[in-house]
Amino acid sequence: MTTKHHHLISAFASSVPYEFIHMSYPLSSVFTEVTTTAMQLEYPLMNRYRFDPIVGSCRGILCILDYSFVFLWNPSIRKFTKLPSFEDSSSHMLDFSFGYDHSSDSYKVVAFYIHEFVINGNRVMKIIVKVHTLGTNSWRRIQDFPSRSFCEDSSGKFVCGTINWLTYRDRTSSLKTIISLDLETESYLEIVQPNSEGNNYSRIGVLRDCLCLFSRSSDTFTDIWLMKEYGNKESWIKLFRVPDIRDLDSFPYVYPLYVSEDDQVLLQIESELFVYNSRDGTFKDLNIRNTNGVTGTTVYHESLISPCF
């Protein structure tokens, strides 16, 4: 996949004064240049002393969770919009996800609530799901989420008109499964995982516009699995095996962000970014000027699409 028009947007914590700033740099420079210079973005919110996590990126628009609301932002054209507020005093907010429904040409934000109640003296929990379609003024409730427990990274990954989550089969099980939400039909489906060795340490992501599973199989490497045809369990392939470059016992996750046309893999490991060359097995520590450690990083594609409807 070409890196043209693709950028990284990262949040960094500055030391003096202490605040979170958002920086952008072209992906092409990450893979081809020795040193990359990051440019500070004009973040649309005034409060920079709190980290606002990026929920997802789709067609050039970022979905960001502020302390009290969700907003959509296109940094390329410096436009943003706040979504309608959501209040449910009987529930606890869990997480958000972001994607695009091709059938209706609309962006959708998915919100999750944990709702607990008592039936016959027993406490029961369910995950309520609401959807906001950009351009409307409300959140709609859809079918409850079929799983009761998310894995460590509960943010959904958008691919092929669906949002996907890695979940536990139940609250007492260590077995994991991938649950998919079709944004057109707003129905759920279970995606069969590959036969990987490292189910205890796994995350999902998107590389080359395909659903991926990152499976840490031992203390020495991470396998990158890619589903070439979405929904086809026979299309899982092991794309790369990435060796560890340090002792990661205290932080077992290596998170691939992007794969270049010549099979170089951009990785985030803790607060640092690396490029792994899968053809010769070498690593490059990214030397990004004007930054400290990375707090959150997302790949986005430049576009002129406005989030303001």
Q: State pLDDT tens for residues 10-47.
A: 777 665 556 677 778 888 888 887 667 777 788 777 66
pLDDT score of 7: 86
pLDDT score of 61: 94
| Residue 280 in this model has a pLDDT that exceeds 70 | yes
Please say whether the beta carbons of 299 and 8 come within 8 A: yes
pLDDT score of 117: 76
User: Is pTM, for the whole model, over 0.85?
Assistant: yes
Please say whether the beta carbons of 230 and 159 come within 8 A: yes
**Tokens representing residue 55 in the block:** 């929920």
* 134-152 mean pLDDT: 85
More confident residue, 149 or 184: 184
More confident residue, 199 or 107: 107
Q: What is the rounded average pLDDT for all residues in the chain?
A: 83
| Residue 95 in this model has a pLDDT that exceeds 80 | yes
Closest to 45 in 3D by CA, of 80, 86, 12, 15: 80
**What's the CA gap between 22 and 41, in Å, rounded?**
6
More confident residue, 42 or 136: 136
Neighbours of 98 (CB within 10 A): 26
- Split at pLDDT 50, 70, 90, the class of 58 is very high
Closest to 108 in 3D by CA, of 126, 122, 96: 96
DSSP3 helix / strand / coil % (the chain, rounded to 5): 5, 55, 45
pLDDT score of 28: 83
